[in-house]
Amino acid sequence: MTQRIDCDVAIVGGGIVGASAALALRRMGRSVVLLERDLCGSRSSGVNFGGVRRQGRPISQLPLAQRSHRIWGELARTIGTEGEYVRSGHFKIARSEADLAALEQYRAQSRDFDLGLEMISGARLRERSSWLGAKALGGSLCPEDGQANPRLVSPAFARAAEREGARVLERARVDEAAHDGQRFVLRSVAPGLEVRAPVLLNCAGAWAGPLAAQFGDEVPLRSGHPAMAVTEPLPVFMDWSLGVEGGGIYCRQVARGNVVMGGGAGFALDDERARVERGSIDGICLQAIELLPALRHAHIIRTWSGTEGYLPDRQPVLGVSPRRPGLIHGFGFAGAGFQIGPAAGEVLAELACHGRSSTPIEAFAVDRFEREAEAVAANAPNPSPRPQPISVAR
Amino acid sequence: MTSTRQTPPAVPLLHRVAETARDQIPFTLDGVACTALAGDTVLTAVLTHAGQLRRNEFSGAPRAGFCMMGACQDCWVQTGEGARLRACSTFVAAGMCLVTEVPA
Amino acid sequence: MNDMTGKALPPVIVGAGPAGVRAAQTLVAHGLRPVVIDEAARAGGQVYRRQPPQFGRSSRTLYGFEAGRADALHQAFDALRGQVEHQSDSLVWNVQDHWLDVLDGPTQRTRRVPFAGLIVATGATDRVLPVPGWTLPGVYTLGGAQVALKFQGCAIGQRVVFMGTGPLLYLVAYQYAKAGAQVAAVLDTARFADQCAALPAMAAQPAVLLKGLYYVAWLRAHGVALHGGVRPLRVLGTERVEGVAWHDGRAERTLEADAVGFGYALRSETQLADLLGCRFAYAPLHRAHLPERDAAGRSSVAGVYLAGDGAGILGADAAEWAGERAALALLADRGVQIDAARTQVLERKLARVAGFRAGLERAFPFPQDWAAHAPDELVVCRCENVTAGNLRQTVREAGADELNRLKALCRVGMGRCQGRMCGVAAAEVLAHATGQPLQQVGRLRGQAPIKPIPMELAAAQEGLPS
């Protein structure tokens, strides 16, 4: 018994990107059906570090990040909960003079975007943040960057979309996706659904590659698994959310006292689940104690990982398909999608309704790798296959 | 997080019903010199003198362990140096300095 | 499988309780030299936990009717000295690629232990259904109350109430009374009628049944009040236990007390099996999702065997048989000649226990109406201070209908104990609040570390204990 649903826009993927797109589309008066294979916000959007950060992003992402910053500033009004969002400040640590120089350079390059970056080092740093270990020479503070609880925020976007009239269908994996000449046709076997829409948003996260490829948009999307760990609740000693210039670990302390840390990689157990690699646990602990001596006596009570989608340039894919009219992509946020996810969703809604967005997104074109490859090898054959219905379930 | 800084009740929770002829082990509890017996766990050492091991971070209420077998994780006790040990599965050692009026 | 020097890797046994000890004995008898990793300082597990070296009580005093079995088990393990590598005071906190991550108790440093063949004998803890006031100082599990007495020569109070259901309830009350502690009452949620109805099934293990009847008779003869058909209402007191209130079917009753021991039988420690990738299935008798094992103890993962209460509560005797049976399976799978007749004897013994276990469940049934009566203000997760009301609100407002989603949204199970004490109760509340059968709400997903590990751990030399 198949239930058929027709709508203006179908969305595959109920993470923060898909859900915020659904919400934005409802506010623009479009009918929306969102298909999520598990529960909304149960994957990367729900298990990431929780940093809500603009500082350090490529300059090309900053318009999107600034747009998102405004959405975050009205979070409770938008999704009905603060989700523990706090503008605690994000401090990017420099461990050397070269690091400091790199941070100064970023400050200069990003100056048009009003991030409010402030360099702090030496005695001023020690006075301001005595809890930072000696290896921290100085760093760059973005006072309005912060942190939130992804487990609360991401599902809340989906529920907000639902309250606004979006049909959010969970435990509804897309088993088949095709185009019948007029509309996209998505089939979900278990709940017995067929969804048809002239516009399809591909927000399937790390699993968006096959859906894109099916309609001719091949992208070199790889899965990665950032490693996370959390301590027991500790007396609150740290206000900033921390990152390290040049990589390493990132950490933040929540109001309840647990310190959440990330760094290194995990590994996939299967297509959908991941776990932290033991070497990463060692690495996170060593680096965290060095950075934050107060953690010396603390215990880790849990580790976890997730599955993120990465493109080779670590920039997302965000934009219309050049091959399949009506298909619009929003995926591959390379572990940095939480802060810009809400704006990406709004951009997708704009693209769906108007074919263009007020936010510059050329850097995120889905075919940029092809064009690059074509520029390199002039005789490269056209790689696009004829679209045909194939299973995208894995 | 709240913790009302009161002196823990002096009435012990645990009562020795056997095996009292063991060597004595000196230790301090919240700054007060006490004596335990060799083979006592930290939990026994503390609770034969006082009525709590720690305070819960979120309710501020006193806790004194629960499962006695390293499962519930409600018996973590802080030492004077800031280290943490699981009281039910750690034997008391001479000179240990234990603090109970904190979330450990 | 060989290590980097070419030496054949040993099989490893995790847990030195009845299952682990018999598994070790069996492997040694067939010429292998297993590694036995155990959290405690001395082998024996919980039920046959050995007192610290400075203590002098007799086995009879410690274990009562089980003294013979306890002594036999301890002697069996002691006889293996030099033939096994016993890593005591050692916590297995992770596993990856045929290496276990082990935290050394005394040094608080971590090391890796490789294995070729693994017998998981991780045992059990008390199964807890919270009651208001259960976090007060002076409230312990039945197993905890027993450990205080057996392992430390202490009573948890001077006037103790024991509450809940299960054979352990009467055993611990009996042990306390015999040790000279005042047992104010034994409050059993099961009714006398339940126990009568279960007699036929329990007759499958007459010795066990008789012991149970003996404890009850002894308690009665010594003036200990026994109440059945009880519904626990709350533990009274502000800074510590002052009394207990319950409903007896007609009215609310109270009793003064300074300590409470309570529990509802046991729950399996399955975190290692989970990390190993063992397939789990819902077991209605145990009211839990448990790692699957065949009659020999093989899990769904090649080379991983499950023995004892860690894969389903069947008791100490069954654990000994299961440990031996699993070791025989490991040996057979390695091509070692084993006694096939013995495997059949063991499997028959284990099959009989399953019947008895069903009888126990009938005699001491799990209180299925517990969630319906749990008040909103009841603290379910004692680590994070999450109440039944918080859980229900999360169901109402966020539509949570699955246990991991419930945890993500309201923090139940997110504390240091990672759901050991609250997982059963949380599942019951969730199932009741959503009108689902218990099986459908799922089980909490496991991740490393199995228990909290210090951040200061540093990898020691690979493969060898420090």
Cα nearest neighbour of C135 on chain B: B63
- Provide the token pair at C196: 């009568």
Say whether pLDDT at C466 is over 60: no
CB contact under 8 A, B73 and C154: no
Q: Which residues of C touch A275 (CB under 8 A)?
A: 96, 447-448
**What pLDDT sits at residue C3?**
66
E-assigned strand segments in chain B: 15-16, 24-29, 32-37, 54-55, 62-63, 76-79, 84-86, 97-99
- CB–CB of A282 and C457 under 8 A? yes
Contact criterion met (CB < 8 Å) for A297 and B58? no
Inform me whether the C-beta atom of residue C238 falls under 8 Å from chain B C-beta atoms.
no
Residue contact B83–A256, C-beta within 8 A:
no
Q: Which of B13, B18, B56 sits opposite C240 (nearest CB)?
A: B13
Tens-place pLDDT, residues C320-337: 999 999 999 999 999 999
Which two tokens mark A155?
Answer: 């599902």
How close does chain B come to A77, measured CA to CA in Å?
28
Instruction: Using DSSP bridges, classify how beta strands A176-179 and A390-391 pair: parallel, antiparallel or unpaired.
Output: antiparallel
Angle at B64 between CA B62 and CA B67, to 5 degrees: 135
Return the structure tokens found at A339. 């802060």
Q: What is the mean pLDDT of residues A251-264?
A: 97
C454 neighbourhood in chain A, CB within 8 Å: 297-300
Picking from B19, B55, B58, B69 by the largest number of C CB atoms within 10 A of its own CB, the best residue to mutate is B69
> In this predicted structure, what is the pLDDT of residue A382?
55
C370-441: CATH class: mainly alpha
Residue A379: per-residue pLDDT? 64
The answer to whether residue A286 neighbours chain C at the CB level (below 8 Å) is yes
* pLDDT tens digits, C379-402: 999 999 999 999 999 999 999 999
Q: What is the mean pLDDT of residues B76-82?
A: 94
State the best of A297, A301, A302 to mutate against chain B, taking most chain B CBs within 10 Å: A297
- Answer whether residue B10 is part of any domain: no
Closest CA to C117 of C98, C90, C101: C98
Alpha helices in C249-339 (DSSP H): 271-275, 316-333
Q: Fold match between C128-264 and C370-441? A: no
Minimum Cα–Cα distance from C49: chain B residue: B69
Transcribe A118-172 into DSSP letters.
Answer: EEEEHHHHHHH-TTS-TT--EEEEETT-EE--HHHHHHHHHHHHHHTT-EEE-S-
Among C47, C51, C54, most B C-beta atoms within 10 A, so best to mutate, is: C54
Within a domain: B82: yes
Contact call for B1 and A296, based on CB within 8 A:
no
Helix (H) or strand (E) holding C466: none
C297: which 2 tokens? 């103890």
> In B, which residues are within 8 Å of C135 by CB distance?
56, 59, 61, 63, 66, 74
DSSP per position, A20-65: HHHHHHHHTT--EEEE-SSSTT-SHHHHS--EE--TTS-GGGHHHH
Assigned domain for B7 exists: no
Name which of C415, C416, C457 is nearest A285 (Cβ-Cβ).
Answer: C457
Task: Give A257's contacts in chain B (Cβ within 8 Å).
Answer: 1, 57
Residue B48 lies in a domain: yes
**Residue-wise pLDDT tens digits, B51-74:** 999 999 999 999 999 999 999 999
- Report whether pLDDT(A393) > 90: no
Interface contact C453-A278, CB threshold 8 A? no
Q: Is residue B15 in some structural domain? A: no
CB contact C148 to B (< 8 Å): yes
Please tell me the distance from the alpha carbon of residue A193 to that of residue A290, in angstroms, as a whole number: 53
Nearest to B2 by CA among B52, B53, B63, B61: B61
**Domains in chain A, CATH or no CATH each:** 3-47+151-221+313-391 (3.50.50.60), 90-143+226-305 (3.30.9.10)
Question: In angstroms, what separates the C-alpha of B29 from chain C's closest C-alpha?
Answer: 17
* Structural domain count, chain B: 1
Q: State residue A272's pLDDT score.
A: 85
Residue B91 lies in a domain: yes
Q: Chain B within 8 Å of A302 (Cβ-Cβ)?
A: no
CA–CA separation, C355 and C299 (whole Å): 22
Helix, strand and coil percent figures for chain A, each rounded to 5: 35, 25, 40
Query: Are B57 and A236 a contacting pair at CB < 8 A?
Result: no
Please check whether residue C240 touches B, CB under 8 A. Answer: yes
Hey, are the CB atoms on A256 and B82 less than 8 Å from each other?
A: no
**Domain over C128-264 is classified CATH 3.20.20.140:** no
The residue segments making up the domain with residue B43 are 24-99
- Residue C13: predicted pLDDT: 98
| Domain covering C12-125+267-336 in this structure, CATH number | 3.50.50.60
Averaged pLDDT of chain C: 95
**Within a domain: B5:** no
**Which residue of B lies nearest to A293 if distances are taken between CA atoms?**
B82
What is the mean predicted confidence (pLDDT) over A188-208? 97
Average pLDDT over residues B12-18: 97
Rounded CA gap, B59 and B74, in Å?
Answer: 13
CATH number for position B56: 3.10.20.740
| Subunits in contact with chain C (3 or more CB pairs closer than 8 Å) | A, B
Sequence letter at residue A184: F
Domain range summary for chain C, segments of one domain joined by +: 12-125+267-336, 128-264, 370-441
Q: For residue range A91-138, what is the model confidence (pLDDT) as tens digits?
A: 999 999 999 999 999 999 999 999 999 999 999 999 999 999 999 999
In tens, the pLDDT along C78-101 reads 999 999 999 999 999 999 999 999
**Chain C residues within an 8 Å CB radius of B41:** 151-152
Per-residue pLDDT, C463 = 34
More confident residue, C344 or C2: C344
Instruction: Tell me if C416 and A299 make a contact (CB, 8 A cut-off).
Output: yes
Chains that touch B (3 or more CB pairs under 8 A): A, C
Q: Is the previous residue joined to A63 through a cis bond, with omega within 30 degrees of 0?
A: no
Task: Give A204-256 pLDDT, tens digit per residue.
Answer: 999 999 999 999 999 999 999 999 999 999 999 999 999 999 988 999 999 99
Report the distance separating Cα A355 and Cα A347, nearest Å.
10
* pLDDT beyond 70 at C6: no
CA separation for the pair C100, C115 (Å, rounded): 8
A49, A226 Cβ separation under 8 angstroms: yes
pLDDT confidence of residue A380: 55
| Alpha-carbon gap, residue B49 to B52, rounded angstroms | 9
Residue B46 lies in a domain: yes
Helices of type H across A256-321 = 278-291
- C351 in contact with chain A, both atoms CB, cutoff 8 A: no
Does residue C138 register a pLDDT over 80?
yes
